[in-house]
Structure 1
Amino acid sequence: MSRTTFVDILKIPEMTHHKIHMRRVLVSAVLSLCLVSINAIEAQPVVEKRVAIIGSGAGGSSAAYWLSRAFPSSGDIKISSTVFEALDRVGGRSITIPIMDDPANGVAELGASIFVEVNWNMMNATKKFGLELKKLGSVDSRFGLWNGKEFIFQETGNSWWDTAKGLFRYGIAPFRVRNLVLSATDRLAYAYDHSFFPAFTNLKTLTSFLNFGEETSRTARHYLITDSHVKASYIEQIVQSATRVNYGQNIDRIHALGALVSMAANGAKSVKGGNWQIFQKFIEESGAKLRLETRVVGIKKLVDKKTGTTVYEVESEGGEKEMFDAVIVAAPVHNANINFNNVPSSAASALLDNPPAFETIHVTFVAGQRDPSYFGVDNLETLPNMVVTTADTTHFPGGQYPFTTFAEHHFHNDSKESIVKIFSNKEISDSLLDSLFVSRSWTFRHAWQAYPTLIPILDAEYEKMAAKNRIEAAKQSSLSISTLRDIFTNFLREWGVLPQKKVEVKEVTEEVPTKVGPFALKWPPIVLDEEHEGEGDGGVFYVNAFENWISTMETETISSKNIVRLLHKQWCPKCEPFGDGWTEQANEQPSDAVEKKNEL
């Protein structure tokens, strides 16, 4: 008997109504099975990934936002993020307090206070989230550098006259430093060009890619005075004032990149009502779960017995345990007090055993009437409202400066009092405050570890290369211009009127010290459980590693975006690259970053 095919069934002419009905049912069933098979082939299973984010400051909140942009809900990979925050608020080190304990008087930034126009992520966030910007403080700033005896330099408020004074005192040193700052900010602009800038797995790669080896392996003094031949008085007085204001560190300790970033704070801005609102919006827009007052105490690396994949058990203080596919640590490890079980690589173990040092800053707010006699000034009209102490403590009582900065931020019209913010490396006593103010009605004190000590990282390989480059440059040119007088002198030397200046050239030795003075040996790791160095193939990431490179709110958002790009590469290697995080299309670029790249 011959076999009846599916086509033959459709062709049989003579059938009863019952048989016809049965044939129709059979055909319908077969077609349904075919459609199910086709759909099974075409449909791609949705992969679910869970990410734990520890910390809700600039790094943690932006990480949640970047994850939602890198893995949209319409994609094949569904991300579920949970932000764990030990405090009862979002913002990390960005926190505000009500002035004079009354919200009606406005708020003052206690911690992370400012960002600038070149901070593309922070500026973009304020525009996207509809947040209002304001300049820092409500009074015009007049800077004064005080050595305990007198003001060795101070501004008048007249920009033309202050510029003329600066040129007379420092020559062209301000322009030379400005060029170095522009060079640094231009190179930093590459971090926004995702089509050119690769996701990096360690800070050594980042430093090399952006050519910041010399700036990060030199103290500010060495780089700016010894290597760049900028007039010492300008570096010691003006640049050092900037490093003391922004990072509480002197030029003999802070690396040169930290000093250059400190000098790039022109046009400082903050969000009206507090910068923390940016980070609140990041989390809200991301759709992440926010768990306030939930301290993470442990992270354990495990293998899922069913799938054979690596998972991470995150334990909170109450004993609750949850499983995640990746963990992003966005809080300084020395403060987080997390037990890493079966997680750290050798590099990460070194970080956890000896975490980078942080600077303890004492912040004091006072509402009162300033006493100009403390500074040897007759009246408030001539007293600078932004006083910075010198690093030279010769004229200070006991050889210690009483504070780092003394800045008038607001003037309270109703009480006729100034709102003054004071930074110091120890608590300001009541007796000192009584000397600084004729009267005061409100005092608020707070101490915290605000930022890491930005010490240079001594890279032996780069040190040899940089030494050779400096010697070659010295052989080719003897010009060392730091003042207008030097320009004229060197002009006469070039034309033979004066003898050429002799340049001492030292030979490069093969031995490079492994540690010198305030230098560290390695950058903190970004991937804490990386199995193959440089591959980024782990699942526990450390946002705050970036802080030892440079510590700002903006760079924390750059660091978190870099980590999300590493996860995107891991989980979706065949997908379109994750873009800048703001534009809709992956191939769109931030116009500012592209412009900087083209200029370079």
Structure 2
Amino acid sequence: MFALLPVLLVLISGTGAQLLFPVNQVPFELRRNATASEIAGPVWHEARPPRIAIVGAGASGSSAAFFLSHFGALRDAGLATDVTIYDSNEYVGGRSTVLWPWNDDPLHNPSDRRLSTDAVAAEEDDVDPVEMGASIFVAANKNLQKARRDFGLEYEPYGGEEGNTAIWDGEQWVFEETNGFGWDWWHKAKALWRYGRSPFTVRSLVKETVGNFLNLYSPAFVSQGAFASLGNFSTATHLRDAASKYANQYLSSKGVGDLFTNELISAATQVNYGTPIDRLHGVGALVSLAATGAVSVKGGNRQIFEEFVGRSGARLRLGEDARVHSLMKLDAAPGKRAQWLLRTASGVSGGTYDAVIFAAPFHQTGIQFSNSMVPALIPKQPYVRLYVTFVITNATTPQPSYFGLPDSTRMPNEIFGTFTTPSSSKPNFNSLNYLKALPASIGARFGEGTYHVVKMFSDHSLQRDMLEALYGKHNVAKTVEKIWLSYPQLQPVTSDSDYAPVRPDEGFYYPNGFERLISTMETSTVSSFNAVSLLLHDFFGYTPPASWAEWPDDLA
């Protein structure tokens, strides 16, 4: 979700593959709503549109608002809703947001300034921010790609400065890529000599699942109806086996060699989910192999979610005053639907709603519930604590001495850590990537020479003395640290009760339960479309005939 391992582009290249959320088409009986019919509630008969509260303005909440407006705008469909979004952040995007780490205030957009030194300000305005959270999406991500096109957002290939890539296990380079991403036949031959047929086996796994991925958006798949049970979903999409095993066990059962798994694929899971290969389920490993065609929106991916909200027409409540404090389910009158009383911590906003889409990690919000079974039905889900450190340095690469190498060593400027080889010491960081060189006008603030922005992931705070050893004692000009609860700890799913219901109570929808299986920006929009589809069926008896990504023009 937060990054990728470019070397795997090469080892599984030739598939034309992007793997995020693989699915197979299945008979309708596997997709049948497994929850009691009374939880769905009676069909909506009021003259007014139902009032919907969305908790969270990240990828899931913003896209849910947009999808509701999409259906509400259909001619003569009678699917209009009245939507209000609540988020305690001051911005839209959730875990997708940006910063300018070279600024005194890294969260401050320099284009907002009004300076007399127009030339300097203009040059600084041309420097795009860097992603602080969710960084990439791929060609197969139809919702995000359609949104980017429809909203006129420019994209750019995700990557960093030109240079070499290596994988470090704390003692040695276990793999190096010395000629960029192209690789000639000799480098491929060396990879095959070291790993045997494992790269081809992984390529086959990716190709098989990618072949099913695009079915997710097809009218034949979507028109069968929404899922209320993620257990049913994992069965229907043939992910149950991969989700039920640790990734190293799953890959071994498919014939992937331990050396390839522990050196390369474990580095991919470490950078994508902050977790080594032997501590997350097989689906997490498969998602971590999704790399081909990785892009980001120029200026920040969160622009997609800002557009979702802006075009939805929903009311937007942001900031501490909009932090939701409590939700109370109100008993329904005969023949009517139950309602939800929402209160904010400040008491400034809130109200009574006919449905709630809870588009945030449930146990991180601290929201109090009354008169509802919801808390008992949402399993506790720990999240990975990820430290993202941005370093402003005039070192063109890390120092060889940090790795015990001669000063003359040609160093990589992109390094990934693997934690599952037999080495006695482990890396101090998950990844290191030189993102960009700063223009001279900005670099001059810090001193002479060219200054670079380096992005690092780790499971702990990176101390100044460690960074100075890594880049050189006098070469670290500035650091900025952000701590995320970034993605779920993807332990194997051994029971359907490990998943949260999509609709745990009448009028309450929880798309974020999908993160227990897959956590990406795209799948957040997919899960919100599923939740919206379920809501529309509950309220109006309506089943969408197609996904938004493939919506027919004659139905617009």
TM-score range, shorter chain: 0.7 to 0.9
- The answer to whether the 8 Å contact 1:195/1:587 transfers is no
User: In 2, Cα distance between the equivalents of 1:379 and 1:250?
Assistant: 31
Which of 293, 297, 304 is the matching residue for 2:325? Answer: 297
Which of 509, 512, 516 is the matching residue for 1:544? Answer: 512
- 2:183 aligned partner: 159
Deviations along 1:328-366, one digit per CA (max 9) or x if unpaired, are 001111211111212225xx5142xx5111000001000
Superposition deviation, residue 59 in structure 1: 0.2
Superposition deviation, residue 382 in structure 1: 2.2
SS in 2 for 1:387: strand
Which one-letter code corresponds to 1:204 in the other structure?
G
Question: TM-score of the superposition, structure 2-length normalised?
Answer: 0.80
Superposition deviation, residue 411 in structure 1: 2.3
Superposition deviation, residue 426 in structure 1: 0.6
Q: How does 1:109-508 map to 2 (within 5 A)?
A: 109-140=131-162, 142-157=164-179, 158-160=182-184, 161-197=186-222, 198-225=225-252, 227-293=253-319, 294-305=322-333, 308-319=336-347, 320-345=349-374, 348-351=375-378, 355-368=380-393, 369=395, 370-378=398-406, 382-392=410-420, 395=423, 399-414=425-440, 415=443, 416-438=450-472, 439-459=475-495
SS in 2 for 1:60: helix
User: In 2, Cα distance between the equivalents of 1:59 and 1:382?
Assistant: 43
Which moved further from structure 2: 429-438 or 100-109?
100-109
Give the direction of change, closer, same or farther, for the CA distance of 1:79–1:73 in structure 2 (3 Å limit). farther
- The answer to whether the 8 Å contact 1:46/1:78 transfers is no
Give the direction of change, closer, same or farther, for the CA distance of 1:392–1:230 in structure 2 (3 Å limit). closer
- 2:116 aligned partner: none
User: In 1, Cα distance between the equivalents of 2:422 and 2:468?
Assistant: 23
User: In 2, Cα distance between the equivalents of 1:373 and 1:313?
Assistant: 61
Deviations along 1:457-476, one digit per CA (max 9) or x if unpaired, are 114xxxxxxxxxxxxxxxxx
Superposition deviation, residue 302 in structure 1: 0.9
Which one-letter code corresponds to 1:325 in the other structure?
D
Which one-letter code corresponds to 2:552 in the other structure?
Q
Higher relative contact order (CA 8 A, sep 6+): 2
Deviations along 1:27-81, one digit per CA (max 9) or x if unpaired, are xxxxxxxxxxxxxxxxx98541111000000000000011011222754232111
Any gaps of 5 or more consecutive residues in structure 1?
A: 1-43, 460-519, 530-537, 590-600
Which of 502, 505, 523 is the matching residue for 2:499? Answer: 523
Question: TM-score of the superposition, structure 1-length normalised?
Answer: 0.74
Superposition deviation, residue 304 in structure 1: 5.0
Superposition deviation, residue 401 in structure 1: 2.8
Superposition deviation, residue 456 in structure 1: 0.9
Superposition deviation, residue 316 in structure 1: 1.1
SS in 1 for 2:266: helix
User: In 2, Cα distance between the equivalents of 1:407 and 1:522?
Assistant: 35
- Say which one has the larger Rg: 1
- 1:579 aligned partner: 546
User: In 2, Cα distance between the equivalents of 1:568 and 1:587?
Assistant: 20
Which one-letter code corresponds to 1:65 in the other structure?
F
- The answer to whether the 8 Å contact 2:537/2:543 transfers is no
Superposition deviation, residue 250 in structure 1: 1.2
- The answer to whether the 8 Å contact 1:136/1:409 transfers is no
- The answer to whether the 8 Å contact 1:46/1:77 transfers is no
User: In 2, Cα distance between the equivalents of 1:395 and 1:51?
Assistant: 53
- The answer to whether the 8 Å contact 2:71/2:80 transfers is no
SS in 1 for 2:167: strand
Give the direction of change, closer, same or farther, for the CA distance of 1:162–1:341 in structure 2 (3 Å limit). farther
- Are residues 1:108 and 2:130 paired? yes
Give the direction of change, closer, same or farther, for the CA distance of 1:62–1:307 in structure 2 (3 Å limit). same
- Are residues 1:56 and 2:57 paired? yes
Which one-letter code corresponds to 1:91 in the other structure?
G
Give the direction of change, closer, same or farther, for the CA distance of 1:376–1:411 in structure 2 (3 Å limit). farther
Superposition deviation, residue 393 in structure 1: 7.3
Give the direction of change, closer, same or farther, for the CA distance of 1:176–1:73 in structure 2 (3 Å limit). closer
Give the direction of change, closer, same or farther, for the CA distance of 1:539–1:45 in structure 2 (3 Å limit). closer
Give the direction of change, closer, same or farther, for the CA distance of 1:545–1:249 in structure 2 (3 Å limit). same
SS in 2 for 1:106: coil
Q: How does 1:549-564 map to 2 (within 5 A)?
A: 549-564=517-532
Give the direction of change, closer, same or farther, for the CA distance of 1:328–1:141 in structure 2 (3 Å limit). farther
Give the root-mean-square deviation of aligned CA atoms.
2.3
User: In 2, Cα distance between the equivalents of 1:401 and 1:385?
Assistant: 16
SS in 1 for 2:81: strand
